[in-house]
Chain A
Amino acid sequence: MWFKVEPRQEASQAVIYATPVLAVALTVASGYFLFLFLGLAPAKTLYHFLISPTLTFYGWSELCVKAGPLVLIASGLAIGFRANVWNIGAEGQLTLGAVGAGGIALAFWNETGLWILPLMCLAGIVGGMLYAAIPAFLKTRYEVSEILTSLMLTYVATLILGILVYGPWRDPLGFNFPQTRMFTDSALAPLILEGTRMHIGIVVTLAVAVGAWVVMARTVIGFQIKVVGLAPAAARFAGFSRNRTVWFSLLLSGGLAGLAGTFEVAGPIGQLVPHLTPGYGFTAIIVAFLGRLHPLGIIASGFLMAISYNGGEIAQVEDRLPQAATGVFQGMLLFYLLACDFLSRYRIRMAQREATSS
C-alpha cells in the first residue's frame, strides 16, 4: 500500500468549502498546544482569538474597519497578479493616496460641503496612481522590474509623508508634534452606524470587489489580462499589448491602494500622522493569493485576516498572550490554509503498487 497523488479534474464544491474548515481545525489543534506550552488556558485563548471578534455587532464593525483596506487593495493587486505584474508597493501607493486626500482636507479646512470628500477620494486615487505610474513607466520604457521599484518606493513614500507631517503640514496648534490638524466633518467618511467606526469605505470596497469581478469575467481588458498572464506568447500573437496591461494593472492597483489610504485618513484616523498603516499594503498581497485572486475569495480572506488580527488583540488583552505568539499563530493559520488548498486540487488515494501502472 502506498499513497498516490493525482490531480482532480474538477474540484467539487464540497471540497472547496471543506478545505478551509480542515485548515482551521488543524490551526486550532496546533494552537492548542502552542498556548498550552506558553502556560495559557488553550481553549479560552482560542475562543478569544477566533470566535470573540465575531460575536458582537461592534466586533463585526471593527472587522470591517480592518478588512476594508485589505480587500480594497487586494482587489486591485489581484488583477495585476493575474497579468504577472508584481506590484508589491501598494503600501507606498496607499501612503501617497493618503497624502493626496489629506492635502485636499487641509487645503479646504475652512470650507464645508459635500464635495470635499469626493474630491479627497479623487485626489487619493490620483495620488496612488501617480506613485504607481513610476514603476509602470520604468517597466514599459526601460524594462526595470516593478518588483524592485515598487518596493523601494514604499520606503520613500513613508519619508515623503514624514517631510510633510514633520514640516509644513504640522498642526499649527499642535505643539509642533508630527501630525496635521484633525479633519473637519466634511472631510471625514460618514459612519454607517453611529457609535462604531464602520464608514462608507466598506460599501465602496465591496462595490469595487464586485466591479473587479465584472471587469475580469466580462470585459475585453479582463480577458487580455488573463491571456497576458497565462500565455504571453499567445497574447503577443493576438496583438494584446503587454505594455498596456502593465500600465492598466499598476494604475488600477495603485489607484485602489490610494483610495484605501484615503479611507484610512478620512475614516478611523481622521488626520495625517507619520505611521498611517500597519502594513496593509503587504498583508493585502497575502489576502489576494489566499482568496485565489478571486474577488469573492478576497473578501473572505480579507475578513479572515481581520479576525486573526483583531482576535490576536483580544487574546492579548484577555489572556495576556504575548504579542509574538499572535504572529506565530497567524503564520500557522496561513500555512494550513495554503497547504490545505492542495486537497482541493489533488486527491490522495491509497493504491496498490501494481494498480498504478496506467
Chain B
Amino acid sequence: MIALSIVNISAAVISASTPLLFAATGELVVERAGVLNLGVEGMMLMGAVTGFAVTVSTGSPILGILAAATAGAALALAFALLTLTLMANQVATGLALTIFGIGLSALLGSGFVGQPVPALPKLHLSGLSDLPVLGPILFGQDALVYLSVCLTAATAWFLKRTHAGMTLRAIGESAESAHSLGLPVIRTRYLATLFGGAAAGLGGAFLSLSYTPMWMEGMTSGRGWIALALVVFGSWRPWRVLAGAYLFGGVTILQLHAQGAFHLPAQVFSMLPYLATIAVLTIISAGPWRGRFNAPADLGKPFRPSV
C-alpha cells in the first residue's frame, strides 16, 4: 500500500514537472545565447493544440509530437524575425507572442474541444518495469518523460562539451566580442530561439497528450511563466533547471496531500510551490556559491553586426 502510494505520487510529480522541464530547458538554451523570449506560454499552447489536433486527425501520436515541436518553433521563428532581424525589443515581443499564441491556439483548437484522444502509452519493459517501487517509477513512464530528461542531458552535454555549445555561450556573454572573433551571432541565436520554441511546443504536447489528454483553451494555465522563472532558479544550468522543475512539481503535488492540516485555509497550501522556490533559491544564493550564478551578460540585449 505504501509502495503503491510512492509509485502513484511519484507519477503525479513526474507529470506535473515534465511540461515545465521541457519549456524551461528550451528557454535556457535561448537565454544562454543571449536572447530573452518571454513568449513561452504562447509557444506551449501552440504546441498543445497542434500536437492534439494532429494526433486526433492522423491517429499517430508521433506525428502529433513532431507537429507540436514544429508549431512551437514556428512561433519562435516569428519572434526571431522580429527581434533578431528587425531588432524589436525582446521583452515586449515575447509578451506580444504570448497574447498572439493564446489567441491563435484557441482559434485553431475550437473544433477539437471535447474530443477524446488516447493517452500516450506508458513504457513497459518486462523485468525492469516490474521491479518493486523503482521499476514503475523509473521504467514505466511515457516516451515524452524520458525525452524531457534526455533533452536535459543533451543540453548539458551540448553546452559544456561541444564546440557549438561553447560558441553559443560565448555569444550570450558578449555578442560583440563573439562577432569580432568571427562567430555567427545571428545564426546561432536564430537556431537557439527555434530550439526553445520546439521544446516549449513539446511541453505543450505533453499537457494535451499525456498529462490531461484533451484540448482546452488556455490549458497551460500559466505554466510557461513558471518555466521562465525556473530558468532563473536553475541559474541557467540544465541540471539545476531539472531540479527546479521537480522541486516545483513536487511541492505542487505534496501540498495537495497536506491540505487541511493545521486548519489553515487551502490558499496557504496553494502558495507553497511558489514560496518554496523562492526559499530554496535564497538558501542556495546565500550559500558559499553566492554570486556565481549570473545571467548571461548579453541577455536581452539587441545585437546587429556592424558590417
Contact = CB atoms under 8 A, between A and B. Distances in A.
Given A138-B282, A334-B96, A339-B86, A159 B271 contact: yes
Interface stretch (A44-52, A113-121, A140-148, A169-177): A140-148
B220 to A, nearest CB: 14
B186 interface: no
B89 A345 contact: no
B92 A151 contact: no
Interface in A262-298: 282-283, 285-286, 289-290
Interface of A: 7, 81, 138, 142-145, 147-149, 151-153, 155-156, 159-160, 162-163, 166-167, 282-283, 285-286, 289-290, 322-332, 334-335, 338-339, 341-342, 345-346
A162 B265 CA distance: 10
Interface of B: 78, 82, 86-89, 91-93, 95-97, 99-107, 110, 217, 222, 225, 228-229, 232-233, 265, 267-268, 270-271, 274-275, 277-278, 281-282, 285-286, 290-291, 293, 295, 304
Contacts of A159: 267-268, 270-271
Contact of B275 (A151, A156, A330): A156
A152 B274 contact: yes
B282 A342 contact: no
Given A325-B107, A326-B103, 5 more contacts: A148-B281, A163-B265, A283-B95, A289-B91, A330-B100
A329 B299 CA distance: 29
Contacts of A334: 92-93, 95-96, 99-100
Given A324-B103, A331-B100, A286 B286 contact: no
Nearest to A287: B92
A330 B103 CA distance: 9
B107 to A, nearest CB: 4
A159 B266 CA distance: 9
Contact of A342 (B88, B265, B270, B278): B88
Given A144-B281, A153-B274, A163-B267, A342 B92 contact: no
Contacts of A329: 103
Contacts of B102: 324, 327
Contact of A324 (B88, B217, B271): B217
Contacts of B277: 148, 152
A327 to B, nearest CB: 2
